[in-house]
Amino acid sequence: MNLSVKHTIVLCIVFAGLGSSAEPTGPVMQLFPSTVIEDIRETGKVAEDMENSIQDVISRLDLQQQLYTESMCAGVDQDPGCERIAKQLGATYLELLNIMSDKLPEMERAVTNTRSSLEQRLREELGQKSTPSGLQDTLLGRVSKSDNSYQASALRGRSGIRLSNRFKQYYDLVATRRGGSSQSMAVIASDIYLDMDEASHLIAATQQEISRAALMEQLNQSFGMITPEMSAVVSGVKSILFGESQLDTQIASLPPSKDEQAFVSPLEM
Amino acid sequence: MNTSKFLGSLAAIMSLLVLAACESKPVVGFCSVTLKPGLASAIRLAEDKLGNGCEYSFDNYYTQLLNIATENPDPANKQLFSQFLVGVSERGIISKRQAKNTYNRYFNVKFVSLMGDYNTCSQTCPVRGKVMSDMQQELRDKEQGLMRASEDSASYHRADHLFKETQLVLEATCRACEAGGS
């Protein structure tokens, strides 16, 4: 039996176990059936492939850009050395665009699959099978009032990490979760779905730009120019794939809970 | 002539009757009281007034009681408010639903603003902005009831966390509902 099949079986057992031991405070939800988990894993793998294939080109671009800057080439005309560096830089830039052009459709397909499957689960489980009151029960039900292990979740806006790592974290969250004490599946599903939705738009916009940028650069190759657009595109790619800054949106953490029995009003919902 | 005299007398008698009826109701001064600490005695006074014709002052008394509790925070305050609200609803001064909503708005983690018996796609998503705005306001009331009046900061932080999670989950769920045309 290969490893991925074993993994899937283990996941099925884990999720079956979660279903049977869930607290009776909220509806049992199937937000992460094995198909969705597999979509997330697949998206992470595609992202990793794309990073690996682009890493080398990005490093070369960085070195060439550094050489260009250190040689004081910016704004210098008619210098054969600078023209050569600029042409090399432009060629590497074209190479980057070509790789992205090759890889993005696969990435787009993987992201779209994950987004669509999560979209359907969210619509059915939280949108159609749940009431607003039920939604609150779902979000609160997993934490008992004296649970000290409750952890605030702050998933959104996690730029600053590699795209593949982000998917790995998502995968770990949904695949290795043990009953009830960590983050809500509803929150995780929402977070991943919104992320996928943004990624879909970003990929579509990038694909539109790539053909135009490639054409422009082919023209520039004739003149050996370094355009600000090149730097912007490279920075953008690095930011999306490899992360740039760590943004942590912390939610207020839970203060130590009291030991005494909390009062429960007969009026309580 | 006799008829006009009779009508004049009748009007005078009616006026006296109306005045007499008004006198049987508490005058404004009777209901207009400033409740003083502690909370238990203030609640007793408010209950007394509410049971003697000052029902319309319920909101005023409740606000005053909350202010007294905020100035004198104690975990037991939550229970005193519960007993007060159960009592006045049993005496018919406010409805049971009003008592429940009032208590939960200030002293429970869950949000009264996010309730309903229909599915989330159809009930909440079309008015998501208003629901979130109402929840934001309710969170401020929970801050007063839970954290400042009852020293229950743990429950307040759970409410704060629930608010943030709801914001995220509703954004995603409503987007998914919209994409599916529901």
Over range A85-109, report the average pLDDT.
87
Query: For residues A74 and A125, which has the higher predicted lDDT (pLDDT)?
Result: A125
Average predicted confidence (pLDDT) for chain A: 72
ipTM surpassing 0.90: no
CA distance B97 to B87: 13
- State the pLDDT at residue B23: 47
Please identify every stretch of chain B with a pLDDT value under 70, giving residue numbers as ranges. Answer: 1-28, 182
Given an 8 Å threshold on Cβ–Cβ distance, is B180 in contact with A253? no
CA distance B95 to chain A (A): 12
Nearest by CB to B116, which of A132, A139, A197? Answer: A132
Closest residue, chain B, to A183 (C-alpha): B165
Q: What tokens were used for A169?
A: 């974290």
Given an 8 Å threshold on Cβ–Cβ distance, is A136 in contact with B173? no
All residues of chain A having their beta carbon less than 8 Å from the beta carbon of residue B159 are none
Q: Are B35 and B65 in contact (CB under 8 A)?
A: yes
Residues A109-160 have pLDDT tens digits of: 999 999 999 999 999 999 999 999 999 988 987 544 444 333 444 455 555 5
3-class DSSP assignment, residue B10: helix
Closest residue, chain B, to A146 (C-alpha): B154
All residues of chain A having their beta carbon less than 8 Å from the beta carbon of residue B107 are 265
Closest residue, chain B, to A198 (C-alpha): B172
Residues A215-257 have pLDDT tens digits of: 777 766 655 565 666 767 777 676 666 665 444 444 344 444 5
All residues of chain B having their beta carbon less than 8 Å from the beta carbon of residue A139 are 162, 165-166, 169
- State the pLDDT at residue B163: 96
CB-count burial class (<10 Å; 0-12, 13-18, 19+) for B109:
buried
Q: Which amino acid is at A144?
A: S
pTM of the model: 0.72
Over range A256-260, report the average pLDDT.
50
Which of A32, A36, A112, A139 is the mutation pick for testing B, counting most B CBs within 10 A?
Answer: A139
Report how many Cβ contacts below 8 Å link chain A to chain B. 154
Given an 8 Å threshold on Cβ–Cβ distance, is A194 in contact with B171? yes
CA distance A16 to chain B (A): 24
Q: Which residue has the tokens 């094995």?
A: A34
Nearest by CB to A267, which of B103, B164, B171? Answer: B103
Q: How confident is the model at residue A76 (pLDDT cuts 50, 70, 90)?
A: confident
Q: How confident is the model at residue A162 (pLDDT cuts 50, 70, 90)?
A: confident
- State the pLDDT at residue A15: 28
CB-count burial class (<10 Å; 0-12, 13-18, 19+) for B150:
buried
